[in-house]
Structures are given as C-alpha cells and as structure tokens.
Amino acid sequence: MIYVTRREVFSASHRLHNINLTDEENLLLYGKCNNKNGHGHNYILEVVVCGEINPKTGYLIDLKILKTIIREEIIKYVDHKHFNYDVEFMKGINPTTENIAIAFWNRIVNKIPSGKLYSVKLSETENNYVEYRGE
Ligand code: NI
C-alpha cells in the first residue's frame, strides 16, 4: 500500500456560532472565531489517496488529476469566500475545521479515479490540524 498526498492552500472567512448558546457563551467558546462578521484564515488542505501502484505508470494516481479534482470540487467554491454565506455545501453547518474537513471528504470521496481516499487533513493555523478518514 502506498500513500500519495496533494497539498492545496486557500484563504476563507468563517464565523463559529451556535444558535443554541447565548452570545456570551459563544464568545467564551469560540473566541476570535465568533467575531460577528467573521474573520479569515489561511487554510492548508492535504488530501491523501492510498492504494497499489499501477505497474504501467508507476503511479498510484496522477497528481495532476488529483490536483484538478481538489480544485474543481473544493477550492473553487471556498477560496476567498465566507463559509457561512458563500459555500452551498456548508449551508447550515457550523464551519469548524472538523466540519469543513468532513464536508471536503464528502465532496471528493467518490471522485478518485484510482486508489481510494484515505484522509483529508485541514489546518486552520500553523499549529493545529484536523484529520478525517471517513469514519
Ligand atoms: Ni476562525
């Protein structure tokens, strides 16, 4: 089994807010990410595909193809957008890094032409990242 990773970066805004909590509780829970009109992050996305090497090409998956899938299914919808207002597939979802990673997984899991999706890693700051493996 071999693992291939494609990294993409994008910038987007979000606001974390739970409507079942008071304004004070939201601020305490989410801090800067609760800012009324949102705020931005420079996100780093890593998509890992695993499987067997194709003996003809020596590749698991052509990274040009993986790059195109990630850009067409994810990046073009989120880069320089506001997760709470602009991104249809995030409608009604609190845009934590966890929830965004799961939504990204669902966008591409059935689109990988060789090998299979192994994980989606998403970092919101340089010191934290979330990883989703589909279960
Ligand atoms: Ni934030």
Q: How far is the CA of 70 from the centre of ligand 1 (A)?
A: 22
The single residue of 25, 52, 72, 80 carrying the catalytic annotation is 80
3-state SS record for 32-92: HHHCCCCEEEEEEEEEEEEECCCCCCCCCCCHHHHHHHHHHHHHHHHCCEECCCCCHHHCC
Catalytic residue among 14, 17, 33, 82: 33
pLDDT score of 71? 98
Active-site residue flag, 33: yes
Domains of the chain, first to last? 2-132 (3.30.479.10)
Is 80 part of the annotated catalytic residue set?
Answer: yes
Residue 21, amino acid: L
Cβ–Cβ contacts within 10 Å for residue 126, how many?
8
Binned at pLDDT 50, 70 and 90, residue 60 comes out as very high
Which pLDDT band holds residue 133 (cuts at 50, 70, 90)?
A: very high
Distance CA 44, CA 76 (A): 14
Query: What distance lies between CA 104 and its chain's CA centroid?
Result: 5
Please state, for a pLDDT cut of 90, what percent of the chain lies above it: 99
